[in-house]
Amino acid sequence: MQRSAKSLHLPVPDAGLLAGMVEDLVRKHLGDIPEPPSSLYLRPTLIGTLPNIGAAAAPSTEATLFVLASPVGDYFAGGARPLKLLVADTIARSTEQLGSTKTGGNYAAALGPTLAAKEEYGVDQVLFCPGGDVQETGAANFLLLSDEEIITKPLNSSFLHGMTRASIITLANDLGYRVNERNFTVAELLDWAASYEAALSGTAATLTPVGKLVYEGREMLVRDGGAGPNTEKLRKALQAIQYGDAPDTHGWLTEVS
């Protein structure tokens, strides 16, 4: 939130203030939290509110900060179905300035290509790889996994720095995987798809397996097209902490009662 507010030239909210707002809201709605694997989705939001018609060249010096909450169902109802992605190397999800900013415009920009890809190829999401650089989908980060190694793009300004990506990297290190944060190309991805598992990481999806890629009209399987064991292992490890079934050794949980 602070990084995105700064990049949008909005007033930067105090971290303690926002944490307190989230905790207060959760406390008020303890009774509305469904049993895992359902959850209470929380969405802190910041909007500029300065009454200024010439906004193109002047930032909003006033903003409203609020938190939305909604119970959501099990993302994996019916099982963790491996996803099919269109590998798109000619369109970007965002811009150079806003790739790592969480802002509505990025989702609007990704929507058109994603709807078109769903219609044309029957895919679930688009994997945006402008100029051949494998970045992320419209709302999740992208990882490759093997029994020994996790490969994912290193943090830069071109894509969103997801919390789940960071958590999975931490858990992968704990579990003895070699974490290889490196840039990789579409050509490398297509080459590795026969032996590596692929997965999307995000708050809602945790770690969702990718079973198929479509590139230049050709469809190919990622390994055998099924959910891979390393994806399952890391997803379960994260969920066990979230559900309170495994010790929270990294201090990720906040108790609200």
Q: What does the binding site for ligand PLP look like in residue numbers (CB under 6 A)? A: 136, 139-141, 160, 162-165, 201-203
Cβ neighbours for 65, distance < 8 A, ≥ 6 positions apart: 13, 17, 18, 21, 44, 45, 46
Is residue 233 part of the annotated active site? The answer reads: no
The smaller minimum CB distance to ligand PLP, of residues 221 and 241, is found at: 241
Q: Tokens for 113, please give them.
A: 């290509």
CA–CA separation, 238 and 30 (whole Å) = 22
The smaller minimum CB distance to ligand PLP, of residues 127 and 214, is found at: 127
* ∠ Cα 17 238 193 (to 5°): 120
* Residue 239 CB-half CA count within 13 A: 20
The smaller minimum CB distance to ligand PLP, of residues 140 and 145, is found at: 140
Closest separation between CB of residue 29 and ligand PLP, Å? 20
Closest separation between CB of residue 169 and ligand PLP, Å? 11
Beta carbons of 70 and 81 less than 8 angstroms apart:
no
The smaller minimum CB distance to ligand PLP, of residues 165 and 212, is found at: 165
Beta carbons of 175 and 150 less than 8 angstroms apart:
no
Q: Mind giving me the DSSP string for 201-221?
A: EETTTEEEEEEEEEETTEEEE
CA–CA separation, 198 and 211 (whole Å) = 7
CA–CA separation, 146 and 7 (whole Å) = 35
Closest separation between CB of residue 100 and ligand PLP, Å? 9
Q: Closest CB to ligand PLP belongs to which residue?
A: 162
Closest separation between CB of residue 156 and ligand PLP, Å? 13
Closest separation between CB of residue 218 and ligand PLP, Å? 26
Closest separation between CB of residue 66 and ligand PLP, Å? 18
SS3 170: helix
Task: Give which of 46, 21, 18, 214 is closest to 123, Cα–Cα.
Answer: 214
CA–CA separation, 106 and 95 (whole Å) = 8
Task: Give which of 112, 107, 167 is closest to 143, Cα–Cα.
Answer: 167
The smaller minimum CB distance to ligand PLP, of residues 125 and 223, is found at: 125
Catalytic residue among 6, 28, 84, 102: 102
Q: Which residue numbers are catalytic? A: 102
